[in-house]
Amino acid sequence: MKAFRVETGLVAPLGQANVDTDQIIPKQFLKSIKRTGFGDYLFDAWRFLDEGDIGVTPDERRLNADFVLNQPRYQGAAVLLARDNFGCGSSREHAVWALMEYGFVAVIAPSFADIFHGNCFKNGLLPIILDEATVDGLFAQVQAQEGFTLTIDLERQRIVLPDGGEIAFELVPMHRRKLLEGLDDIGLTLAEAERIRAFEAAHLARHPWLAQDLAAGA
């Protein structure tokens, strides 16, 4: 998993509240357990006017010119500005994969659905929770200023605005560590491999009869 330290990116505003995971990546595209191949279908029902199919690229489809991500000013956006309860619905991890493959490194919203929020940290996407008034202010700035970018400094837990102003955000320390070090749940466990081996050796020394049981089981 790629480490997240400081990222600067164009911001795209998605004004709907309660965006669920089926809107993020519709169920008909969930035909792979690989983490790639989903970005083309992100927000599929909103981005396109036709019904898509696996293997059909966005260039072969009819775009919905009114949808925010299809507007020229938001091409290449890396930060998604969203509304309340983003990522609700089913627990599909594919929603995070699709957002990341499309190019997003962070989502800012007043609140996230719990499972989606947890899935972000397992895959390297940064979900930032800010109060509603602050999010409203960011929406106003994004819409007023074309090319509006934010710099997200995870180490300092600060969002840096174009004028140099900063917004602080909170994270659970373990979530912060996982992103800073690029560790998913497996990586987090492997990072403690030496301590795990030391514990197992000490435990076996205290209970040597376990070695016989383990050998018998083998």
Is there a single domain that holds both residue 158 and residue 205? no
Is there a single domain that holds both residue 218 and residue 188? yes
Rounded Cα distance between 8 and 101, Å, is 17
Query: In the chain, which residues have pLDDT < 50?
Result: none
Q: Which helix (H) or strand (E) holds 210?
A: helix 209-217
The whole-number pLDDT of residue 37 equals 86
Is there a single domain that holds both residue 165 and residue 193? no
CA angle 5, 157, 42 (to 5 degrees): 65
Is there a single domain that holds both residue 50 and residue 145? yes
Is there a single domain that holds both residue 77 and residue 155? yes
Residue-wise pLDDT for 162-191, tens only, equals 999 999 999 999 999 999 999 877 776 666
Is there a single domain that holds both residue 35 and residue 125? yes
Is there a single domain that holds both residue 122 and residue 216? no
The whole-number pLDDT of residue 22 equals 96
Number of domains in the chain: 2
Residue 142: closest CA among 79, 98, 100, 64: 79
SS3 of residue 165 by DSSP: coil
Q: What is the CATH number of the domain that holds 135?
A: 3.20.19.10
What torsion, rounded to 10 degrees, do the Cα atoms 93, 149, 132, 116 define?
0
What torsion, rounded to 10 degrees, do the Cα atoms 204, 205, 209, 215 define?
50
Domain containing residue 68 = 6-171
